[in-house]
Amino acid sequence: MYAGIEAGGTKFNCIIAEDPQNILTETRIPTTTPHETLTNVIDFFLKEALSRNVTLKSLGIGSFGPLDLNKQSPHYGCITSTPKTAWQNVNIVKELEDRLHLPVELDTDVNAAALGELCWGAGQGWQNILYITIGTGIGGGAIIAGKPYHGLLHPEMGHIFLTQSSTKDNFKGVCPYHSHCFEGLASGPALKAQWGQDAALIESHHPAWDQEAFYIAQALSIYISILSPEIIILGGGVMQQTHLFPLIRTKVIELLNGYLQTPAILENIEHYIVPPGLGTQSGVLGAIALARSLDA
């Protein structure tokens, strides 16, 4: 059995599992102070493993960030410049490794979700996939040639700059760092700031969705041009509005304007831009996939 954590800004989803068919137990622990949350996480794994008489082989963590993922860096395993100030410079790898005595593999929440989808979800059979979450925040994880992509730091796909949907629109977005970035314009809080209600409560025929689809399609067109993914998986709270999918697909085709001649986009886009195969479990099962990657 493996331990997995999807570490988010509001809760830590913890799971003991082998794969999606063999889930032993799972729980949600609120994200409060690092000391309190990590103590509760450690208690959960130790007590559950003991009472169920299972040995945990390793731990995978998909975390909010930004993160230091460079294994040569003295700060490897740290959450870095997060707006959640209590968590700045917390080394979650070291804390959990020391107290659980398990090997730990860390990646971004979205890279973990992408890996989960690659192993067991909509990304099965592909080598180059993109997972984008559109919810409280916006982020993207990429699997390139079968492996989670990092680079210099790790991609921050929510913070690319987009063209406004209308020249009359004065809304600059809700991101504290940038004007007109994807997360600032199209996250759940951005929808609320623009339209005055929670995304979940905005009716499906409201003009908010046409604008939302335009922003998401712009971002996807950029990712398609740069990374050429074989499939794009869209998850997160805002994407629970499934009526967005056909709007986004139509706008991606319009924006690319016939330049990319591939049946995946021109004929079968409903199989190219898709919801997660693992539903809302991509992240936490992705953490199990990260733990399992230590076996290889």
What H or E segment, with its residue span, contains residue 70?
Answer: none
DSSP symbol at 181: B
Number of residues engaging Zn ion in binding (CB under 5 A) = 5
Residue 175 CB, shortest distance to Zn ion, in Å, is 3
The one-letter amino acid at 264: A
Pairing between β-strand 147-148 and β-strand 138-144 as defined by DSSP bridges: antiparallel
Select 11 or 178, whichever has its Cβ closest to Zn ion.
178
Q: Please give the Cα distance from 187 to 53 (Å, whole number).
A: 42
Select 14 or 175, whichever has its Cβ closest to Zn ion.
175
Sites for Zn ion among residues 120-159 (CB under 5 A): 159
Which residues are CB-contacts of 251 (< 8 A; sequence separation ≥ 6)? 213, 214, 216, 217, 218
Residue 282 CB, shortest distance to Zn ion, in Å, is 23
Residue 244 CB, shortest distance to Zn ion, in Å, is 21
Select 177 or 197, whichever has its Cβ closest to Zn ion.
177
Sites for Zn ion among residues 158-177 (CB under 5 A): 159, 175, 177
Task: Determine contact, residues 84/256, Cβ cutoff 8 Å.
Answer: no
Sheet holding 129-134, edge to edge: 147-148, 138-144, 129-134, 231-235, 273-274
Residue 264 CB, shortest distance to Zn ion, in Å, is 30
Using the rule CB under 5 A, which residue among 181, 256, 288, 291 binds Zn ion? 181
Structure tokens belonging to residue 167: 């020249």
Closest CA to 162 of 221, 118, 219: 219
Task: Determine contact, residues 64/70, Cβ cutoff 8 Å.
Answer: no
Closest CA to 63 of 98, 107, 3: 107
Select 84 or 177, whichever has its Cβ closest to Zn ion.
177
Residue 158 CB, shortest distance to Zn ion, in Å, is 7
Pick the piece of the chain touching Zn ion (CB under 5 A) from 11-19, 97-105, 181-189, 249-257: 181-189
Residue 162 CB, shortest distance to Zn ion, in Å, is 10
Residue 137 CB, shortest distance to Zn ion, in Å, is 10
Euclidean distance between the first and the last CA atom of the chain, given in angstroms as a whole number: 15
Residue 178 interacts with Zn ion (CB under 5 A): yes or no: yes
Rg (CA), the chain: 19
Closest CA to 276 of 155, 159, 122: 122
Select 177 or 204, whichever has its Cβ closest to Zn ion.
177
Interface with Zn ion by CB under 5 A: which residues? 159, 175, 177-178, 181
